[in-house]
Structure 1
Amino acid sequence: MADDAALYAFARRFFEARRSVIREAGDAHLVVELSREADEALRYRPFYWSYVTSLGLSPTPLVRTYRFPGLRPTATPPALSMHEEVLTFGAPRLRRMLEAAVAFGRLSRAFEVPEEENRPPEAGSEAVPGGAHSPRGVLVPWLLLSFTVAYTAALRWERLVTYGVRLTDLALDEAFHARLAGRRLGPNPPPDRPILTPLFRFSAAVEKATAHLRARLQAEDRSWADAWIREGEAEKAKIARYYDALLRRSGDGAAPRRRRNRREGPARGSAPEPSARDERAARNGEPPEGPSGAVPKTPGATSRGQGADDPLAFRTALSEEKKRRLAEIDWAHTPAIDVTLEQAALLYLLDDGTRPAPAGGPPADEA
């Protein structure tokens, strides 16, 4: 009976954590309107959500009834329906719920293991009220958040940023690793130690940390990004000069020559790739030349030299090729900063009397 009650509690917490709506919660059943997150995790409609997203349709939520046969209902349960399942240990749907919980679960919990309370303080020092040597020391909840900040330009480099947010007043500690130094953590709460209840939700602590990290990133030196953008602008100017020279030559009335003695010609409408000689000429403001010093031949001529190409199609192909290459340079030379939350942990630490480190400095007791 206790195991069945634990199964019921787990299922309810699972759906609430996935932002599903509990329409009805009986003693031995749950009527749940599944959120998209829960629907996808439990694989009810594997192709439905991709179909809805691609067509921009309004989704229809799925409502399911879950029965727990190991529990005895105190009231008459609702009538059986086709949209219901039985959740028991070993059921395939329960296995999927456990797999989804493991996949979504990124929060670990640990408690500080206090030192021996009977050990006297060192000579010449006084015990800190509420500290590690005091039996009155309380365990304070902290949320540890580790972010990976990735910078992308000509190269990509990453750094790890760790903050601690106290859940009793949302105080943020930038030097949280220093606060953890020398502390021993364990999975179980120590006996005879009061534990403070968090006064703020995890979402508020995450929002506080992300806002602080965003402000930090905005205040950083952006010279690396500006240099990468300038390099892209120089590359775009070089490519633009090359194609503009080709377009000027084709607009001066230079008749495109037929290709002779060639087994295959380029596809009709495709633009030629710039050669090193042409790019040097474009940088010097000179018109480009072909392999033999002539104007580049119009692509798309027939292999037997029967007829010439349309000059308008040639210019259109050059313009489209120019746009494509400029867009590629824009994409490649756009700097980016990506932030990913790597780990979160709920830590209960003994209150040692130190205050969180102020922004940009050491902890207050070390200043």
Structure 2
Amino acid sequence: MEQQTIHSYLQKFFELNECELKGNDSGVLTVKLNEELDRLLLNRPFYWEYIKKIGQEGEPATLTFITNPDKREEKGEWIHFGSPRLHQIFQYQLKHGKFTMLYEQASQAALNPWLVANIKISYIGQQKKDEILSIGLHLISGVMVFDLMEKIKSIHFHTIIPDYCFTISPIIKIQSGYRRIEGYIRQYLDSMEHQWAEHSYNKFQQEKEILTHFYESYLQAADEEEQEQLTERYDNELDHLKKRLLPKIHIEPINGGLFYMSEETEKALRA
């Protein structure tokens, strides 16, 4: 599910940034970038500077991203949590417009409001793991749907409401809805065993004990000035140990939006 979530996220990211999807099948996504994303992902400023100087349009690159582990040996770029490319995209999303408003391109339908939030959870300790939660909240009934980006990947959205459609006003305010999503995330984290955190904390205690024993043996034989220097070095190394090993969880919104969807689509989401 983790790799499927990444694939759905990438698909929607490129669609919303108006890039052409040239292929999308079984965990292999081929995308023709626009100029802005070409500049971001490929870092070839001299090409674009030259093209602009000679008055040409330029040709953005086409990239293939592989999220299916069974196809990672195929031609393309293997994408997973920890991939520099994926974090480039995360940072771009955090920097440029986190919130959007989109309308399903339905035909003659009432469109209901959904608050959609894509959240990155980082489990930080002896080892680090990232996870994306994609959550949708119906702003009328309060129904919550998980793995939403995966479930709506085949639905076409646009920033313009289609002809002969109209929107239903939310009953739940966006701020209140986001608090509900935050509440779910807390429950989700509380329900986990977090053995990784126990292992990381135990490793911290072991290394702290070794570090303390090492410095105490030197402190006993040191004069006052040397003791001050040793204490300062001990404190610095202990701080480094804490940053490296003490377990913590970091929650970071990637992006979100107000998605207006038809009742027909909603039934499929809840099935």
Bin of the TM-score, shorter chain as denominator length: 0.5 to 0.7
Q: Tell me which residue corresponds to 2:102.
A: 110
Relative contact order, higher structure (CA 8 A, sep 6+): 2
Specify which of 248, 254, 258 is matched with residue 346 of structure 1. Answer: 258
Distance in 2, matches of 1:349 and 1:114, equals 8
| C-alpha distance after superposition, 1:285-329 (max 9, x if no partner) | xxxxxxxxxxxxx6xxxxxxxxxxxx3434444444434433332
Specify which of 195, 203, 212 is matched with residue 240 of structure 1. Answer: 212
As a proportion of its length, which structure holds more strand? 2
Distance in 2, matches of 1:109 and 1:162, equals 16
Q: Shift of residue 215 of structure 1?
A: 1.6
Q: Shift of residue 186 of structure 1?
A: 2.4
Distance in 2, matches of 1:216 and 1:222, equals 11
Q: Shift of residue 105 of structure 1?
A: 4.2
| C-alpha distance after superposition, 1:30-65 (max 9, x if no partner) | xxxxxxxxxxxxxxxxxxxxxxxxxxxxxxxxxxxx
CA separation of 1:316 and 1:190: change in aligned 2, threshold 3 A: closer
Q: Shift of residue 246 of structure 1?
A: 2.8
Specify which of 241, 247, 265 is matched with residue 329 of structure 1. Answer: 241
Specify which of 187, 195, 218 is matched with residue 159 of structure 2. Answer: 187
Specify which of 202, 208, 211 is matched with residue 183 of structure 2. Answer: 211
3-state DSSP of counterpart to 1:349 = strand
Q: Tell me which residue corresponds to 1:222.
A: 194
Q: Tell me which residue corresponds to 1:147.
A: 119
Could you state the TM-score of these two structures normalised by the residue count of structure 1?
A: 0.43
Distance in 1, matches of 2:215 and 2:106, equals 73
As a proportion of its length, which structure holds more helix? 2
Distance in 2, matches of 1:323 and 1:200, equals 49
Distance in 2, matches of 1:194 and 1:318, equals 70
Query: Do the aligned residues in 1 keep the contact of 2:119 with 2:133 (CA within 8 Å)?
Result: yes
CA separation of 1:312 and 1:178: change in aligned 2, threshold 3 A: closer
Query: Do the aligned residues in 2 keep the contact of 1:171 with 1:356 (CA within 8 Å)?
Result: no
Query: Do the aligned residues in 2 keep the contact of 1:139 with 1:194 (CA within 8 Å)?
Result: yes
Runs of 5+ in structure 2 lacking a partner? 1-94
Query: Do the aligned residues in 1 keep the contact of 2:219 with 2:227 (CA within 8 Å)?
Result: yes
Distance in 2, matches of 1:188 and 1:218, equals 40
CA separation of 1:324 and 1:195: change in aligned 2, threshold 3 A: closer
Percent of paired sites with the same residue: 15
- Counterparts of residues 239-278 of structure 1 (less than 5 Å): 239-248=211-220, 250=221
Runs of 5+ in structure 1 lacking a partner? 1-102, 116-134, 251-297, 299-310, 358-362
Which protein shows a greater Rg?
1
Distance in 2, matches of 1:158 and 1:352, equals 33
Runs of 4+ residues over 4 Å off in structure 1 = 353-357
Q: How large is the RMSD of aligned CA atoms in angstroms? A: 2.6
Q: Shift of residue 353 of structure 1?
A: 7.6
Q: Shift of residue 194 of structure 1?
A: 3.6
Query: Do the aligned residues in 2 keep the contact of 1:173 with 1:356 (CA within 8 Å)?
Result: no
CA separation of 1:329 and 1:177: change in aligned 2, threshold 3 A: closer
- Counterparts of residues 1-367 of structure 1 (less than 5 Å): 105-114=97-106, 137-248=109-220, 250=221, 311-352=223-264, 354=266, 363=270, 365=271
3-state DSSP of counterpart to 1:150 = strand
